[in-house]
Amino acid sequence: MSSQEIKARIFRYDPEQDVEPRFDVYTIPVIKNMAILDVVFHVQNYIDKSLAFRCSCRIGMCGSCAMYINGKPRLACRTQVSSLGTSEVTIMPLPNLPIIRDLATDMEPFFEKWKKIKPYYVGKPELKDPVVIRPDSDEREFIDQMLDCITCGCCYGACSMVATNEDYLGPAALNRAYTLVADKRDSIRVERLKAVGRSYGVWRCHDQFNCAEVCPKNLVPTKSIQQLKKRCVMQKFGVFK
């Protein structure tokens, strides 16, 4: 194998046909600026057309192409082959989710949990116009940096508490809950806080920061979850309204 090629071990599994998963190995010519997404496209377009994976925007905005790449959840589009520092790459589906086929996972459990925290904004009826908030005020806390979540599921795939607790809401949903609970424009903050202040909610997080380590947007869901925990306690004492 020349240095102009890489060896890709790709996870193959069709739950309806195969007894168990297997790895197929492909040798692929390296191109300039090659992302893992280019690798799987090359295989699917020109070597084995039956390969299945998901992709949409290809520039890290849609969060459709999260995969388990060399032992870590990452976006295929934003993982440059050269950044892996190896000529062999192992590509598997994102952990903790059912597999549709090959690298395409069913994200429904992830979004079912997302829906459980009431992810939608419900504005206070008295707010008739966009609120005036100066950027140098602390009104928004760190909500805005946490709003950049692209629901790719990397955190969900990395979280050991998700892996061992089917009901745990997981980092992305809880991070979303924080951005609404801390948003003073919202009118169902207490209701939402109650939805996350349970054993399968915020208290299941053990501060391992696995989510933050893999987030392609550099968010820190652990920090959001800490903020929720704090508010849950305050709410119990009647301080959070």
Partner 1 sequence: MEEIKTDVLILGSGGAGLFAALHVYDNNPGLDVILATKGLIGKCGCSRMVQGGMNVVLNSADSVDKHFMDTIKGGGYINDQELAYTLVSDAPKAVHELEVKVGCFFDRAENGEIHQKAFAGQSFDRTVHVADLSGIQIIARLTDQVFRRQDRIKVLEETRGLDLLTTAEGDRVVGAVLADMRTGELIVVNAKVVIVATGGASSMYKISAPSVDKTGDGMAMCFRAGAEFCDMEMMQFHPTGLLAGQSRLSGSVLEEGLRGAGGYLINGLGERFMERYDPERMERSTRDRVARAGYMEIMAGRGTESGGVYLVMGHLGSEFVEKKFPGMCDRVRDVGKELSKEPVEISPTSHFMMGGVKIDRDCQASLKGLVVAGEDSSGVHGANRLGGNGIGESVTFGRRAGDTAAALAEQELLRPFRQEQVEEIKQRWLKFFKPTTGVDIYPIRDEIKNLMWEKVGVVREAKKLQEAISRLNGMYEEAQKAYVTNRTLRRFNMEWNEIMNTINWITVARMVANSALLRKESRGSHYRSDCKTDNENWLKNIYMKKKGEFEIETDIRPIISTRFSMEEIRKLNVQY
Does the footprint of partner 1 cover residue 4 (CB under 8 A)?
A: no
Looking at beta carbons only, is 48 or 88 nearer to partner 1?
Answer: 48
Nearest CA to 152 out of 54, 224, 14, 52 is that of 54
Q: Is 36 in the site for partner 1 (CB under 8 A)?
A: no
Using rule CB under 8 A, residue 6 touches partner 1: no
Q: Smallest gap, in angstroms, from Cβ of residue 209 to partner 1?
A: 21
Site string for partner 1, 45-64 (x = CB under 8 A): xx--xxxxxxxxxxxxxxxx
Return the number of the residue (141 or 203) whose C-beta is nearest partner 1: 141
Choice from 11, 24, 34, 84 touching partner 1 (CB under 8 A): 34
Q: Interface residues with partner 1 (CB under 8 A)?
A: 14, 16, 31-35, 37-38, 41, 44-46, 49-64, 77-78, 80, 100-102, 104, 107, 114-115, 118-121, 123, 127-130, 132-137, 140, 143-144, 147-151, 180, 183, 185-186
